[in-house]
Amino acid sequence: MAKKKSNKSLWLMLALIVAIIAVILLLPSCGNRNAKKGAEAETESTTLVRAGETAPDFTVELTDGSQLSLNELRGKVVLLNFWATWCPPCRQELTRVQKDIIDRFAGKEFVFLPVSRGEKRETVEAFREKTGYTFPMGLDSARTVYDRYASNYIPRNFLIDKTGKVILATVGYDEEEFDALIRTIEKTLEN
């Protein structure tokens, strides 16, 4: 009798774990590559600013308490990145940023501007402390900045040229697409 109860508990625990994993992988606002392929039209419809359009101006508070507006960055290439601490693809993408983006384009007319979507300062600061990230991060707890660019799904990248025009808009994280983004940043800096 005790063995049957133990097996039943084990099966319930396994079912719960599978359900939790499925929910995480299918979170509607956290773009993962496999989910994106099946919902490409929906993903496209949630993008409010597309390549070729002027990037909407905004002002965002940074984690150090200062404020930064997109218009202040005119004359520089800007990679605007929307992310969240709870989003696995966002965290995966951020692990590449220091070496592959910030260090690579140091000393050039380039700014990486990650903006945390819908999270409080305390959450972002705890995440920065845990991960050791030291690069500036914007806070968008009310989603006012994000809502100008998209209505759903993260991570999102908007590559903006020196004149304020969006060159590329991407959703989700994929190594090959991230590598292509780096090449596009290089080409945009050359112009």
Answer whether 0.85 is exceeded by the pTM. Answer: no
Burial class of residue 149 (count of CB atoms within 10 Å of its CB; 0-12, 13-18, 19+): buried
pLDDT digits (tens, 9 = 90+) for 69-116: 999 999 999 999 999 999 999 999 999 999 999 999 999 999 999 999
Burial class of residue 189 (count of CB atoms within 10 Å of its CB; 0-12, 13-18, 19+): middle
Token duo for residue 3: 């063995």
Residue 8 confidence class, pLDDT cut points 50, 70, 90: confident
Contact in structure between 128 and 98 (CB atoms under 8 Å): no
Q: Nearest Cα to 155, choosing from 115, 96, 99, 101?
A: 115
Single-letter residue type at 42: E
Q: What is the per-residue pLDDT for 7?
A: 72
| Ramachandran class of 132: left when φ > 0, alpha when ψ lies in -120 to 50, beta otherwise | left
Please check the confidence at residue 17 and state whether its pLDDT lies above 80: no
